[in-house]
Amino acid sequence: MYLIKTKILQSSAGGYHCFADEDVPKGTIVFIFGEKDIRYSKEDFKRLSKKQKDRLIEFAVEDEFGNWYAPSTNIYPRHSCRPSIMPLFIGGHYADIAVRDIKKRR
């Protein structure tokens, strides 16, 4: 579940992705894994099709035990070689934190 305002826009990288709809300071927790979000165990991941696995590898997050975490929506943050958010696992709980200031997408 996103803790910041977001909006869905077409990405220059292709497809539609989730962007910030407000300025977000570095250090802000922007997403917390909630009950509506999807967790794939290591065993579940092995049973997915190649296309499903590729989608998770590109947009989801894997923990140190091989479990995968993805938002319940089919709209994901866009991939970046210079990411604005990074995954954080605290006591087995997954969240995303802003690693730099994020400007509202106009």
Element (H, E) at 53: helix 50-59
Residue 13: inside a domain:
yes
Residue 106: inside a domain:
no
Residue 49: inside a domain:
yes
Q: Looking at residue 33, which CATH number applies to its domain?
A: 2.170.270.10
Residue 104: inside a domain:
no
Instruction: Note down the domain range covering 29.
Output: 6-98
Residue 105: inside a domain:
no
Pairwise CA distance, residues 37 & 24, whole Å:
22
> What counts of helices (H) and strands (E) characterise the chain?
2, 8
pLDDT at 106: 80
Residue 29: inside a domain:
yes
pLDDT at 76: 57
pLDDT at 102: 94
Residue 24: inside a domain:
yes
pLDDT at 22: 96
Residue 52: inside a domain:
yes
What spatial distance separates the first Cα and last Cα of the chain, rounded to whole Å?
Answer: 22
Average pLDDT over residues 2-6: 89
Number of domains in the chain: 1
pLDDT in tens, 17-76: 788 999 999 999 998 888 888 889 999 999 999 999 988 887 788 888 888 988 776 555
Average pLDDT over residues 75-80: 60
